[in-house]
Every structure is written in C-alpha cells, then in structure tokens.
Structure 1
Amino acid sequence: MNKVIGFIGAGNMGQAMAGGIVNSNLVSKENIIMADLNEGSLEKAKEKYGIKVTTDNNEAAKSADILVLSVKPNLYPIVIKGIKDKVKEGGIIVTIAAGKALKATEEMFGKRIKIVRVMPNTPALVGEGMAAICPNDLVSKEEVKDVVSIFESFGKAEMVEEKLMDVVTSVSGSSPAYVYMFIEAMADAAVLDGMPRAKAYKFAAQAVLGSAKMVLETGMHPGALKDMVCSPGGTTIEAVATLEEKGLRSAVIKAMRDCTKKSQEMSK
C-alpha cells in the first residue's frame, strides 16, 4: 500500500495497530505518523517501531491518507474540532470508539467526509485482534480494502452493517474482559485444588486459546466440540452439568445484551 497512515493517539490500541502494520510490511515505517501530547508514549512508539511521531495533531491530519482516531470516545469532539479544517483532501477518517455513529462523526466534522467506523479489540496487541468495519457511502471499494488490510495486519476483520455495531461491541469489543474473568476463575479453582498460580494461568489460558482455535479451524459447531469432550458418566459432563445448573449461558447472554444496550445508549 503506497499511502500515509496517521494516528492521533499513542495509547495501547494505537501502538498495537502501528506495530501490526510495521510487522506486516503493509507500508514502510516512513509512511506512518503518530500524534499525541504524551511525549513518553510517542518516544516509546518511535523506539519500538521506527515511525514518525509528533505532538501536533494537525501534522498527522495534513499528511495522512488514512487517519485513525485512536483516542478515548470522550476526546473525539475535542480532537475533531482541532483537526477538522486540516484533514488532507480526500483523506479517510477511521474511528475506533464505541458509540460513535458515522452520522455523529460527520456532524462533528461539520461536513461530509470519508469515514470508516471500526470496532477493534485489545487482542490486537498480540496480533489476534477482531475488527468490524463499516464505511460511509463516500468511501470507495478500493479504499475500504485498504482499511481492511490495515486491521488484518494484526488479526481478522469483517465488514458489517452499522446497525450491528452495538452487537459487535458486546460479542467482540468488550468480550475479552469476560474471557479474562473466565480464565481467572478457572485458575482460582486450580489454585484452590493445589496448583501454583503461574501454572494455573498457563493451563487455563492455553485451554481457552486452543478451544477457540478449534472452533475457527474445524468449522464445527461449538456444541459438537463440547460433546466430543464429554464422555458418558465422566468428569467433563459433571462440570458441564454444574455450569448449566449455575446459569453460565444465561449469565453470559444477559451480560452481553446489557453491553449491547449500553452501546446503543452511547450512540444516541
């Protein structure tokens, strides 16, 4: 890709994205620019990835063909107000904040502008992110491909309709937190039964990683994969019965629906 990619925000997500792009050789280091007021974060990014850095948001906005707003949702109005008249002609704005609809972002810019709304997640930090992508009608198919390629450089990406973005928040954007809680609970149980803490985390986390890979690579229904582990009268079905009794499925479903509802409220 022969384009300049800019980031406003040098936090974990911004750096994860920049790192994925650099490691995949999608564009050269010289074609990546990151802006932030935090000079410490910028220096870290520069040392680690060899990219250009600046404390001036407008410098990134003026030079980027694709500009990623990798800041917290509450900072969007402030950041956009400062750059809206400096964005490169024909440039694409990529938003990664929960609850920021395409129309709302356009209104903050005060004009029609190319925008791609994306919901990534934190596993991008280890090259295993999942991103949902939704462009407005000004973005061409080729430009969408460019944005998709950015997010596929540190994980997987899928096109979705904007009406599904709040669901994406609950099933992908926020869900690593639920998985971490599950891993922590598994490890706590192992520690209770005598396993050292470090080993417990390793066994639990690898089991989750391997199970997820089985779902993705075999194409089998999760229920069928679960049945393969459950021998008649065995240890696994005993644990499954307890999880059903305690309402694991209903708790997850309720939590995710609450998450979706909260995202919908933030979009208003």
Structure 2
Amino acid sequence: MELQNAKVGFIGFGNMAQAMAQGWVKTGALKPGQVYASARNVEKLKRNTEPLGIHACASTAEAAEQADVLVVAVKPYQISEVLAPLKETLQNKIVVSVAVNYPFESLKHDLLPGTAHLSTLPNTPVSIGEGITIVEQTHSLDADQYALVETLLSALGLVQPVETAQMSTAGTLSGCGPAFASMFIEALADGAVKHGLPRDAAYQLASQMIAGTGKLQRETGAHPGAMKDAVTSPGGTTIKGVTALEKHGFRGAVIEAFDAIEGE
C-alpha cells in the first residue's frame, strides 16, 4: 500500500496520539483526511482534532473500520477492554501500540490469532518530525506491512528497532530524555541570564546548541568524549565548566535518574 492511500486511526487521542497526528500532518506525510481519531470524551476529541482537520470518530469501532493502520494510544490497563469488541475488525488491519510496557506478547493476547501487530514507544518531538520511535523487533507484520509502518514512523523522525528486553531502557532514554534535556536547557539559560543575557536569547542559544550537537554526533558518529575534547582547550574556559560539572556529579546524577526509573 502506498502512503498516500493509507488511512491511520487512533484509539485514544491524548498527548502522544496528538503529537503523532501533528507530526504526520505537519510534515505532509499524511493529509488530514487520511487520519481518524476516537476517544471516550467526544466533545474533547472534537476540540483536539479540529485544529488539525482530521476526522473525529463517534466510536472506536468507526476508527477501527476506517483505518488501515490502527494506533492504540490508551493506557496499558485499558487496552484489553478497548480492543475486546474490535478483534474481528482488526484481523485485517495493522495494529500499532504506543503504550509503555506493553510488548508484543501482551498485545498478542488482546487480538485474534494472525492479527498483524507491533509495539512501539514514540517520544513527544514526533510532533515536529524530529522525534524517536522505539520499535520492538518482535512483531507479526509481513514485509509489506512493516515497510508501510516504517515509512509512516520515519516521517516522525528516527526509527530505532530494539530487542524486547531493551524496550524499557530505550524508552526511558528517548521518552524521559526530553524532560532531562529540557531541564538542562533551562539550567543553561538560567546561567546565561545570571550573567546578563536576555532569557529569550538564552533559550534560543541553548536549544539550538543541543539540537546541533546531537545532529553533529549522529551525522559523524563521533564519540561524545571526542566531541567534548574538540572544544576543550588546555587551561581554557570549557574545561573549567566541565570540571565544575564533574565536581557536582553531573554524570552520576544522569545515571541515577536512569536507575530511579529502571528500578536499580
């Protein structure tokens, strides 16, 4: 199936579903008329879909019937209940979950045998086509189905397949990381404002610096330590800042944040 002919539906239209829909419409990967959404609160759904021009469905059944690819975007504890009445409809669809800690085997129990399904973990920057979608390597899609889903998700940013056992850790990095990065942007800006730089300029510079550094690493494949060394002259200003960060446990704090989430 060609992307221009594909129809995508959402069951649940919270923050992540809205981010994905925004990304597809913003990047032009999908036209608004190709996207369908359903949610329990239909009035709220209409308010959230109207700015994008996508279809607000009166029921989950309508979204499921219309879609070629159905994105399940409800809380994990709601999935079984929501999918139960849709099992037969979904047998001829591609089902994509974006629920945390709901891998292939969990979703398999909510669907009829042979239903094509895949578990993923997108992050919020997908809304501007600069996100990450973690994709579980275990799935039941055939080659053509996987190619369609990969094309859809690639329009939202990086698609990173990982083994089932690593879904949680990868999801922490890409899903919780934006909060950590935002805190770093804020802290950098606060430091600059303390020394007289206007806040708007401080945010612009901090955000672009992080975006550019990340892109440089991805395109060159350089080790982050080597990138640090490249701007750290002997006796210079940068090494003084690096030393202060190390003194206050910068790296350790980041690793401990992972430990807190992953349960170590």
Aligned to 1:266: none
Q: Which of these residues, 127, 133, 140, is aligned with residue 125 of structure 1?
A: 127
After superposition, where does 1:215-254 map in structure 2 within 5 Å? 215-254=217-256
Deviations for 1:77-104, whole angstroms, at most 9, x for unmatched residues?
Answer: 332234334x333211101111112111
Q: Which residue of 2 aligns with 1:60?
A: 63
- 1:169–1:260 CA contact under 8 A, matched in 2: no
Whether contact under 8 Å (1:187, 1:200) holds in the other structure is yes
Mark the runs of 5 or more structure 2 residues left unpaired by the alignment: none
Q: Judging changes above 3 Å, is the alpha-carbon distance between structure 1 residues 239 and 22 closer, same or farther for their aligned structure 2 residues?
A: same
TM-aligned CA distance change 1:89 to 1:216, over 3 Å: same
Report the TM-score, using the length of structure 2 for normalisation: 0.89
Once residues 12 and 211 of structure 1 are traced to their aligned partners in structure 2, the CA distance between those partners, rounded to angstroms, is 27
Shift of 1:199: 2.6
Q: 1:79 aligns with which of 65, 79, 82?
A: 82
What corresponds to 1:162 in structure 2?
164
| Aligned-partner residue type, residue 131 of structure 1 | T
Q: Which amino acid aligns with 2:73?
A: S
1:150 corresponds in structure 2 to 152
Residues paired across the two proteins, number: 261
Q: Structure 2 vs 1, CA of residues 31 and 202 (structure 1 numbering), >3 Å: closer, same or farther?
A: closer
Could you tell me which residue of structure 1 aligns to residue 10 of structure 2? 7
CA contact (8 A) 1:127 1:155 kept: yes
Q: Which stretch shows the higher mean deviation, 32-41 or 124-133?
A: 32-41
Letter in 2 for 1:187: A
- CA drift at 1:44: 4.1
Query: 2:259 corresponds to which residue?
Result: 257
Alignment TM-score, normalising by the size of structure 1: 0.88
Deviation at 1:158, TM superposition (A): 1.9
Cα deviation, 1:30-88, whole Å, max 9, x if unaligned, reads: 33211123345433454333322213011111222210012233432332234334x33
Per the alignment, residue 202 of structure 1 pairs with 204
Relative distance call for 1:123 and 1:133 in structure 2 (3 A) is: same
Whole-angstrom distance in 1 between the partners of 2:263 and 2:95: 26
Is the contact made by 2:185 and 2:203 (CA closer than 8 Å) also made in structure 1? yes
Query: Matches of residues 168-183 of structure 1 in structure 2 within 5 Å?
Result: 168-183=170-185
Amino acid at match of 1:59: E
Secondary structure (helix, strand or coil) at the match of 1:220 reads: coil
Task: Report Cα offsets for 1:115-138 as digits up to 9, x if no partner.
Answer: 111111011122211111125443
Deviation at 1:171, TM superposition (A): 1.5
Separation (CA, whole Å) in 2 of partners of 1:146 and 1:41: 30
Output one character per residue of 1:154-180: Cα deviation in whole Å (capped at 9) or x when no partner. Answer: 211122221210111121121111111
The residue aligned with 1:265 is none
**C-alpha distance in structure 2 between counterparts of 1:222 and 1:154, whole Å:** 25
Partner of 1:47: 50
- Which residue, 187, 190, 196 being the options, matches 2:189? 187
Moved more, 217-226 or 9-18: 9-18
Aligned residues with identical type, % of pairs: 36
Off by >6 Å, runs of 4+ in structure 1: none
Is the alpha carbon distance of 1:74 and 1:137 closer, same or farther for their aligned partners in structure 2, counting shifts above 3 Å? Answer: closer
1:94 counterpart letter in structure 2: V
Q: 8 Å contact 1:45–1:51 — kept in the other structure?
A: no
SS in 2 for 1:43: helix
Give the SS at the match of 1:59. helix
What RMSD in Å do the two structures reach over aligned CA positions? 2.2
Whether contact under 8 Å (1:63, 1:88) holds in the other structure is: no
Question: Which AA in structure 1 matches 2:238?
Answer: T
Q: Residue 212 of structure 1 corresponds to which residue in structure 2?
A: 214
